[in-house]
Amino acid sequence: MSVITVERRAATAGPSRAAPRRRGRPHPREGTVLFLIALLGYVVLGAFLIHHDLLFTDGLSRVGNGYYVLFSRDPHLAAVGFVWNPLPSLAAMIPLLGTPVWPDLARTGWAGVIVSAACGAGSVALISACLRRLGVGRPARFALTAAFALHPLTALSSADGASEAMFTFWCLLVVYPLLAWVRTRDPRELLWAGLALGLAYATRYEAVAPAAAVVVGVLVWSAITAQERRWQFAVNDAVLVGLPVLASFIGWAAASKLIVGEWFATFTSEYGNSAQVSAGRVSIDVSTGRGALPAVGYLLEQTLWMAPLLGALVLLAGILAWRRREARVLVPLAVFGAVLIFADLVFVLGTSFGWLRFQVGAVPLTVLLAGQSLVLLRPASRPARWVAITLPALLILVLPLQWLGMGNARIAREEVYLAEQARLGVHRTERQVADTIDALGLPDGSVATDVAYSYGIVLASRHPRSFVITPDRDFEAAIADPTGHGVRYVLLTSPEVGAADAIAALYPGLYADGADRAVLVGAWGEGIQQWRLYEWHNAP
Amino acid sequence: MTGIVSSDADERLRASVSALADAAPEFSAQRVVTAPQAVSGLILIAAWVALALATPLVAAQMLVGVVTVGYVAAVVYRVLLFCRGVGDRHRTRVSDAEAKSVPDAELPPYTVLVPVHREPLIGELLAHLEQLDYPRDRLDVRVLLEADDTETIAAARATTCPPHVILVLVPPAEPRTKPKACNYGLVDARGELVTIYDAEDIPDPLQLRRAVVALRRLGPEYACVQAQLGYFNSTQNVLTRWFTVEYGTWFAYLLPGLIAVGAPVPLGGTSNHFRTDVLRSVGAWDAHNVTEDADLGIRLARLGYAVGVLESVTLEEANSDPINWVKQRSRWYKGYLQTFLVHARRPWATLRDLGWRGTAGLVLFVAGTPCLTALNGFFWALTLMWFTRHPAWLQALFDSWLYYAGLLCFVLGNLAVLYMNVYTTRQLGRPDLLVAALLSPLYWALMTLAATKAAIQLVASPSYWEKTTHGLHLSPTDKAEP
């Protein structure tokens, strides 16, 4: 008789599946409530903006990039394009899946609004979490969170479908774990900060600035605080926080090189940022003044409007932190400070439009520095209590002024231009063009157009497949020999707007009079942006 | 030396070879593939071949599709385990003070099995075991020697063994495996608890005491706690560095992750501490499985027991020689596949025993580990080929959605594993291993080699045990000394 047998465990009082139960995490109720309130607010604001045709063109064009991947005549992932970093478009693809049920997701840009509102609401929850982590008490925390959430730059970027909301969200997701890491040096925090940086780069290329600042900051702080083998630990920490953003950077560049042949299309493509800025150089100079010195003055003006207390708070928080040896103040300074310095620097160097929304980082920075200052002041006596009340109050009281600033034609050029466009009914015209083309009942691939400009029309169309668009893999061939490819029409915008239109470039004079190749069959719009539909001679 | 046990050898030998196979043949790898498994396998292959003859492209795409989906699932599962394992709630920690505070009188008798085969370094081994902090009158150390391993026996006889150490001669018989020797030693073991150390192990001196406290704390449904393994020669060369990082991830995150998601834990080869009665009642080790440890972990879970991870490190010798490493690794992978096949014999029974979470772990982790490794190399090769040669057949093979999904997961999956390694070096407090962690793709090439060898060997000679040579950390002059 062997002593070795095979029997099942006899049932005991204990649980039969001994795996530990998933313990319920403490319910983050405050964050959830803030998120839901902010989400509701931003969606309502988004509805208002959509109703008045006030969505940012930038946001709409990113929705377009996601839309072509799913619903164009040639749906493929590379249609997402390589000029703008892809995450906002990829995220918009999720709501866009509902387009067949609710066409307005694409037609009026709701998909972008949903994404930006979710990111904005997430940022509101995160900023409150950061303030709590700093130790800011509840009344001040709510006041500061409100000052962040109701600031026009935060609120508009969260409601208008632009990518700034997502970028701010990732940046706050870098700040939050780092605030803990500075004290605990728990490498887990670096894991989350590193991943958030990687995603930030996938959202906007400005992320290189906070990434560099964070990697250097982590390296130095780790070396200062390590007990032994300083530099080994420091390098390990820096690699941990920097690897995802490096991978994101290399991965995006390599994908871009492989598919469109350019490493950094946003700087080298004729549709990219650099090309747009040089095309808009004259108008930028007219509004902001020519040269570096007026540029600095212009930025100061923008900052004074949007974050009047920023300078004072950097000083105050800096002095307090120095005296109390509080290194956490460096975290928001490194992350959002780098974002702002980068945005300002490229403007001074003349490679940026200097739009007001590029200053959006000043809002979370102001709020976090205010929170940090309150915490550092707290133990002191009467003046501290006085500041604790006035500082959050002041930040809220200046909000109406800042909303007024959004109508200032000098500092808020893009916003004012947008309102102008809306008054002219630019988006309404686009929808009208789409409806007219739809009514022709054309087969797939009948209308060639460059969606760098006509994204609004393709998004508004109920038959997006009737367009041959720039991301299509047969676009080049189709516009070189339109009739041979079954292309009957070409849709063009005025040369003032469509400076780099691929079709207009191939056929000079086409927009003006058809260049003896095509006959005008439709024209829409007034002012600077007009649309013309030409039908090719001997069309199929 | 108390004496060499070799009485009633026949009955003991029979029990140690085939007790499990006799009592519950469905749990034993004596037959790796059962008839129904073979038939269904052949039917699948035949169906695929028929499809391939009809429409070769569709058949090839289907195969690639299945492989890609499997690869993605295994990668995602690994990342999930890592995330769940990162919190240290799923490891059992027993402080030094708590371990030392148990009075000797309350400590149970403890059997330590030490299977040795062709290990002339037995003196060194016994010296390490003498470091264990445990009352000697409650310690039952059994050095398991193959009776025809005259070299080791001679070395053992030449060493003065303390009274709590006995030498057990295991009669020569097939299969020549470590689990058979362990069973042979287990049959009349005196301990209430039993553990295994390999010949060259350096256990944490408090490990036995910690295991006693941990098992008492965890309760009777826990049959075993697995201590963590580390390496004493981790900086010998790049291979041992890689090995150290890999084990760090394995024991610090992946095993706790398995516990967290409620999946069975494949045990490691040494430093697992069992309740002796439970171990005997579940059939002990399968003498025919070449990773009997992993198999036992799954069997424990199927029979209703749990396994914990104990925070206590045993230092082992990392394999520093690539050839030797590939041999050892291919044995592990072969054993994992063997274990999977054993437990996949009656899928419904396994599903009933383990639940869907446990079964997912069995498929995605036990079968997934060797498959992932083999496939990773395959995908690397395809990717390189794609970038260098751009062959049209490759494009045809990967339908566009499959291509993007596959490429994305391949890139993200490899990055994720690399990143986990970087995290591990930091968390282990071993930043000196950072460069090795960053170079780990080269390690994966070796792993692919081992996984391929394992797959071939699984078919050719399923029970063959590739012996791992120990003592490679010693310089030749050390070894030459008498």
- DSSP class per residue in B287-310: TT-TTHHHHHHHHHHHTT-EEEEE
- pLDDT tens digits for B197-217? 988 889 999 999 999 999 999
pLDDT of A1 higher than 60: no
pLDDT of B6 higher than 80: no
Lowest model confidence (mean pLDDT) among A115-119, A343-347, B39-43, B452-456: B452-456
pLDDT of B154 higher than 90: no
Give me the mean pLDDT over the A166-194 stretch: 95
Q: In this predicted structure, what is the pLDDT of residue B362?
A: 92
B221 to chain A: which residues are within 8 Å by CB?
9, 12, 14-16, 18
- pLDDT tens digits for B248-290? 898 888 999 999 888 999 998 889 999 999 999 999 999 888 8
Q: Which of A14, A190, A194 sits opposite B221 (nearest CB)?
A: A14
Q: Is some CB atom of chain B closer than 8 A to the CB atom of A183?
A: no
Q: In this predicted structure, what is the pLDDT of residue A227?
A: 86
A16 to chain B: which residues are within 8 Å by CB?
221, 304
Do residue B426 and residue A18 have CB atoms under 8 angstroms apart? no
- Interface mutation vs chain B, best among A4, A5, A215, A237, most B CBs within 10 Å: A4
CATH superfamily, with its number, for domain B1-473: Spore Coat Polysaccharide Biosynthesis Protein SpsA; Chain A (3.90.550.10)
pLDDT of A21 higher than 50: no
Asked whether the beta carbons of B305 and B221 are under 8 A apart, the reply is yes
**Range 247-306 of A in CB contact (< 8 A) with B:** 247, 251
Distance of residue B426 Cα from the nearest chain A Cα, in angstroms: 6
ipTM above threshold 0.90:
no
Q: Is some CB atom of chain B closer than 8 A to the CB atom of A233?
A: yes
B404 to chain A: which residues are within 8 Å by CB?
77
Asked whether the beta carbons of A409 and A301 are under 8 A apart, the reply is no
- Interface mutation vs chain B, best among A184, A185, A236, most B CBs within 10 Å: A236
Q: In this predicted structure, what is the pLDDT of residue B203?
A: 92
Q: In this predicted structure, what is the pLDDT of residue B276?
A: 94
Q: In this predicted structure, what is the pLDDT of residue B393?
A: 76
Region of A445 (left: φ > 0; alpha: ψ -120 to 50; beta: rest) is left
Tell me if the bond preceding B175 is cis, omega within 30° of 0. Answer: yes
Q: In this predicted structure, what is the pLDDT of residue A418?
A: 87
Q: Is some CB atom of chain B closer than 8 A to the CB atom of A12?
A: yes
Q: Is some CB atom of chain B closer than 8 A to the CB atom of A422?
A: no
Helix axes of B440-460 and B400-427: crossing angle, nearest 10 degrees: 110
How many CB atoms are closer than 10 A to CB A483?
13
Q: Which of B20, B415, B425 sits opposite A4 (nearest CB)?
A: B20
- Interface mutation vs chain B, best among A8, A9, A25, most B CBs within 10 Å: A9
Do residue A244 and residue B431 have CB atoms under 8 angstroms apart? no
Q: What percent of chain A has pLDDT over 70?
A: 95
Do residue B434 and residue A236 have CB atoms under 8 angstroms apart? yes
Q: Which of B15, B422, B426 sits opposite A4 (nearest CB)?
A: B15
Do residue B305 and residue A18 have CB atoms under 8 angstroms apart? yes
Q: In this predicted structure, what is the pLDDT of residue A378?
A: 67
Instruction: Compute the count of residue pairs across chains A and B with CB atoms less than 8 Å apart.
Output: 115
Q: In this predicted structure, what is the pLDDT of residue A409?
A: 87
Do residue B305 and residue A15 have CB atoms under 8 angstroms apart? no
pLDDT of A267 higher than 80: no
Return d(Cα A339, Cα A362) in angstroms, integer: 9
pLDDT of A218 higher than 60: yes
Query: How does residue B460 score in pLDDT terms, banded at 50, 70 and 90?
Result: confident
Give me the mean pLDDT over the A494-512 stretch: 88
Would you give the distance in Å from CA B273 to the centre of its chain?
A: 15
Is the alpha carbon torsion for A165, A167, A172, A177 positive or negative? Answer: positive
Do residue B422 and residue A18 have CB atoms under 8 angstroms apart? no
Reading the block at residue B474, the tokens are 């010693």
Closest among B199, B200, B203 to B226, alpha carbons compared: B203
Reading the block at residue A465, the tokens are 């497949």
- Comparing alpha-carbon positions, the chain B residue that sits nearest to A190 is B423
| Beta bridge partner(s), residue A253 | none
Give me the mean pLDDT over the A286-303 stretch: 85
Q: In this predicted structure, what is the pLDDT of residue A455?
A: 93
- pLDDT tens digits for B364-373? 999 999 988 8
Query: How does residue A293 score in pLDDT terms, banded at 50, 70 and 90?
Result: confident
C-alpha count within 13 angstroms, C-beta hemisphere, residue B190 = 12
Give me the mean pLDDT over the A346-369 stretch: 91
pLDDT of B4 higher than 70: no
How many CB atoms are closer than 10 A to CB B98?
15
B305 to chain A: which residues are within 8 Å by CB?
9, 18
Do residue A187 and residue B426 have CB atoms under 8 angstroms apart? yes
Lowest model confidence (mean pLDDT) among A77-81, A283-287, B1-5: B1-5
Q: Which tops the pLDDT comparison, A283 or A246?
A: A246
Q: Which tops the pLDDT comparison, B73 or B382?
A: B73
- pLDDT tens digits for B373-400? 888 888 888 888 877 777 777 777 766 6
Distance of residue B23 Cα from the nearest chain A Cα, in angstroms: 6
List the domain boundaries for chain B: 1-473
User: What are the residue ranges of helices labelled H in B344-439?
Assistant: 347-361, 368-388, 392-397, 400-427, 434-438
Backbone angles phi and psi of A507, in degrees to 5: -125, 85
pLDDT of A435 higher than 60: yes
Q: In this predicted structure, what is the pLDDT of residue A28?
A: 63
Complete edge-to-edge strand list for the sheet that includes strand A518-524: A467-469, A447-449, A489-493, A531-536, A518-524
- Comparing alpha-carbon positions, the chain B residue that sits nearest to A234 is B431
**Mean per-residue pLDDT of chain A:** 89
Q: Which of A2, A9, A237 sits opposite B304 (nearest CB)?
A: A9
Q: In this predicted structure, what is the pLDDT of residue A539?
A: 72
Amino acid at B423: Y
The whole-model pTM stands at 0.87
- Comparing alpha-carbon positions, the chain B residue that sits nearest to A191 is B423
- Comparing alpha-carbon positions, the chain A residue that sits nearest to B187 is A3
Asked whether the beta carbons of B110 and B134 are under 8 A apart, the reply is yes
| Beta bridge partner(s), residue B83 | none
pLDDT of B473 higher than 70: no
How many CB atoms are closer than 10 A to CB A390?
11
Q: In this predicted structure, what is the pLDDT of residue B274?
A: 96
Q: In this predicted structure, what is the pLDDT of residue A216?
A: 97
Distance of residue B329 Cα from the nearest chain A Cα, in angstroms: 28
- Angle value at C-alpha A231, between A228 and A232, nearest 5 degrees: 80
Do residue A244 and residue B419 have CB atoms under 8 angstroms apart? yes
- pLDDT tens digits for A36-94? 999 999 999 999 999 998 888 888 889 999 999 999 998 888 888 888 889 999 999 99
Q: Is some CB atom of chain B closer than 8 A to the CB atom of A227?
A: no
- pLDDT tens digits for B109-119? 999 999 988 87
